[in-house]
Every structure is written in C-alpha cells, then in structure tokens.
Chains A and B, each alone.
Chain A
Amino acid sequence: MSTHSTIAIVGAGEAGTAAALALRERGWEESVVLIGNESSLPYERPPLSKAVLVDETRPGPKTIVTSERLSELKIDYRHGCEVVSIDRTASMVILSNGAKIGYHRLLLATGARPRDLNVPIAEGSRVATLRSYEDATRLRELIGQGCEMAVIGGGFIGLEVAASSILRGASVIVFEAGSRILSRAVPVGIAELIRAKHERSGVRIETTAVVERIELCEGRSCVVLAGGQRHLADLVIVGVGATPNVELAQAAGLAVDNGIALDEMLATSDPRVFAAGDCCSFPHRLYGKRIRLEAWRNAQRQGVIAAANMVGEDRPYDDLPWFWSDQYDETLQMVGLCCGGEIPVVRSLGPRGQLLFSLVDGGRLVAACGFGSLGAVAKEIRVAETIIRRELKVEAEALANPALNLKQLL
C-alpha cells in the first residue's frame, strides 16, 4: 500500500473517530489509519461523569464504533499507541514503538487534558481528575455511601461529578474560585437554577473559594482555602477546565493560538495537516473571532468537516457551539455564544424549565440556554439554533411569551 495515499488520524476520541468514519462515507478508498493512545475501542466521554460514575453494572465504555465495523470499513485502528512526533518534511508520524506512518493528509485530534490546579498538593493526599474511562471506574470505586468529597471547580465536570456522587450516597462540597458557578459558559439566571437544584439535592457550593493548597491530615486530604479555612475530605476531585494537547503540533512547527490554530476549513498552518475537536481553535464567522470549544458535538462535527476537506471538499466549518449537561434528572442545553453585553430575555416553561435568550443590540439572537426536562428544553433550543444561524432579528416580547410557538419566528 502506498503511504502517499494514507490519511493518518492522531487521536481516537470523538473527533478522530468521526473523521475516520466520515472518510469512508465520502468515498475515500485508500488507507485510513486511526491512532489512539488508549487500549479500548473508541468510546464516548460524556457518560464518564454521568452514567459511568453512577452505575457499576455497565459492562464497559460506550463505544462509538464496533471492531466489526472498523474492519468492515478497513479502518486500521492502532490502539494503545502514542505518537511521539510528526516529521512534516518526510510526511510521516512516528509512534512510540518506532513505527512510522506516512501520510497524504494528517488529522490531529489530540483532545485536551484536565488543567492543573497549580497549587501545592501533599504527597499521599487523594486528589483525582476525570478524563478517561479508567479514571471514571477508579473514581466509582472510591465514591460511595458516606464518602466525604470535595470538588474543586464549579464548571460542567465538577457539577456533574457532584450530582453523580450524591446519587451514590456521598456527601459533596464544591469549591468555586469565581463569584458564581458555570461563569464561563452559562448565563447567570440559568446558573442560579442549577445551583438551587444542587443545593436541594444536598450539595454544598462555596463560591469565591480559592484553593491555596491541599495537605494531608491524619490520612485524609485537607483543602486549604485562601483565608485559612480548612476542609477535610476522603477524596478531592479537580475539575478546573482543560488544556488543549498542542505539544505534538507545536514541536512540528505548526501555528498554535489557544489550541492548534486552524483556518475556517480546519486546516493548520500546513495545508496538508488538519485538526479537529478540543485541541484546536478556529475562526467563527458569526462571532468574528477565534474560538476553542471543549464539547462533544463540536468534536464530532469538526471531525466530519475536516474529513471532507481532507478529501478535497471545500467546506468551511460554521456549526454553532452547542453544549449539553445532565444534572440529576434535568438537562441543560446551550447554543450559540455570548461575548458580553447581551440583553437577557427569560422564557418560562413553568415547572418544566426555563430558557434564557441573549440578544445583541438590534434584536439579533446570539445565544440561548435552557434548563429543565429534556422534552421541554430540546425543541426550543433547536429552534433557537436556527434563528441564530439565520441571523434573524426577533422581538424580546415574542421570545418571552410562552404561549407563542418559537417556530413562528422563523
């Protein structure tokens, strides 16, 4: 097989796997090599902080694709393989076992890793992060009835871990350094609803709680806050964001700017090398700036678009940012992006939930966020997505009127 006709994909998460499948869907008949550093089949990460953490009867990770399907599609899946470098002059990637894979096009889907807390952590204290299936199953063993947990970071991962741990009978306190939870992504009105939900479920949430260090006290972990407050825990979980895995790209001389820097076609500074998912930043036509997303749908859809462009299509990536999170029996969905200064408009769905729309001057909708039952929230967010994409102007009064079907605004 000629190596010049190989498309190599580094990273077998959501983006890399979606790309491999999409290459075949688009008729690419030459070789596809998918390189992953974990030993299992490609699997979905969203359940790791949710169902996997709660339910030990699950037999294994939820795989994205079966091994039968991979062989049927002739996708050469190299699992448990680390790529150590890219030789762009020779068009090769080099694996840790010394193997070399030549490429015609290369996709970097290296993902992200949990950001370091960057405080002193005493040796022997029990401090963990969550990214892989292995992390999740190990944590599940530790989280049980009576376990006293401290979660550092009031973002999506921290709060999902808190909800799952409460369901397992643990007690949980969340320390958030900012003035409120979910401050990076969720408008304040919705964040308040989520906070109330957690507090009703028994989670304690402390905001403006800056962790200074973690000590070891009589065999337990002790979270020490700025100001001296001390909190003992059996287990500390850190969820303070993610750092894009850019080292491989950087070492190969590719441009990096808060992630591997791409153009709107998802190509890197080398037109034969593409990237997708949590590891990359890209310009978005609607927001007029470079953004990086840590999100499941973005990873999957960028994988598909990168695959299309690697086989010669010319498709700019302009999907809207979309996030979801499960908290207990309720769902949060968000679409679009707030850049600051938007006018919030509340649409109440009664006991079924609430939506919050963000309008800019002139009545253009730029983001929508909903929290409540899936059935109530999902359709409304889907319509909002269409309104945002079409850059429609809408009346705040119409959005706020629950009697009005949002579809009428299209």
Chain B
Amino acid sequence: MTKQAEWVAACAADALRPEEVRRLDHGGRTFVIVRSPEGDYFAMDGHCSHEKVHLADGIVDGGIIECPKHFGTFDYRTGESRALPACVDLQSYEVKIENGIVMVKV
C-alpha cells in the first residue's frame, strides 16, 4: 500500500526551542519533530519501536530522544535505536522550512 508522499505542515519553525520535541499526527500516523541545537529540524516516527508509546512525551538531550516509558533511545537525526529496550530503528523523514513553517514529507 504505497501512498504518495506528501508535505505536511507541522508547526512554525520558531515554535520549537533547541532540543524541543513536537508531536505531529497525520493520516492515522504519528511523528515527532525535533529541533537540534544547531537549528536544524528532524522528523521521525512518533511511536517508540519497543511499545506503542509517544516519544513526544519523552525528553530530548544531546541528539537523543528518550522514550518516557522504558528509556529506549533513538538518534533523532537518523531514527537509529541507541539503547535497549528499543532495538528497531525508526524511519526518519525529510524536513524543509517553507515560509517559516516546518514541513515534513510523510
């Protein structure tokens, strides 16, 4: 069931502070958007790959987003899992800023 990727508006670029996370729900799926300390924006799947828990409720620090429930961690730039119990990588998505809005290609 491949579906045409589309660009979705997540939030104003200014609305995110460095290493702040925002949840984006779209088309029955959920994503997280994170702004890095360098001011770049990244998007990946919003549920932890260990259990269906919203990563947006977790903390972000030093390039890592941590699941609020069991402390599985992911590199928010790539979606790679970094610490157990998370052992499956998350998909990351292309991001662009358009007219001050963070757009995610999902």
A residues engaging B (CB < 8 A)? Answer: 18, 21, 44, 64-65, 69, 296-297, 300, 324, 331, 374-375, 378-379, 382
Contact = CB atoms under 8 A, between A and B. Distances in A.
A119 to B, nearest CB: 36
B87 interface: yes
A368 to B, nearest CB: 15
B73 to A, nearest CB: 12
B84 A375 contact: no
A46 to B, nearest CB: 8
Which 3 pairs from chain A and chain B are nearest by CB?
Answer: A378-B68, A375-B57, A382-B59
Nearest to A383: B59
Contact of A374 (B69, B71, B87): B69
B85 A382 contact: no
A349 to B, nearest CB: 13
Contacts of A331: 69
Given A297-B71, A331-B69, A379 B59 contact: yes
Q: What's the dominant secondary structure at chain A's contact region?
A: helix
B84 A374 contact: no
A65 B87 contact: yes
A250 to B, nearest CB: 30
A44 B72 CA distance: 14
A324 B87 CA distance: 21
A332 to B, nearest CB: 12
A324 B84 CA distance: 16
B58 interface: yes
Contacts of B56: 375
Given A297-B71, A374-B68, A64 B84 contact: yes
Interface of B: 53-54, 56-59, 66, 68-71, 84-85, 87
Q: What's the dominant secondary structure at chain B's contact region?
A: loop
Given A324-B69, A331-B69, A378-B69, A300 B57 contact: no
Nearest to A17: B84
A178 B6 CA distance: 58
A375 B87 contact: no
Given A297-B71, A331-B69, A382-B59, A375 B54 contact: yes
Contacts of B84: 18, 21, 64, 300
A382 B66 CA distance: 10
A375 B68 contact: yes
B70 to A, nearest CB: 8
Nearest to A44: B85
Q: Which among B56, B66, B68, B71 has the greatest number of chain A C-beta atoms within 10 A?
A: B68
A198 B54 CA distance: 25
B85 A374 contact: no
Given A21-B84, A382-B66, 6 more contacts: A300-B85, A374-B54, A375-B57, A379-B57, A382-B59, A382-B68
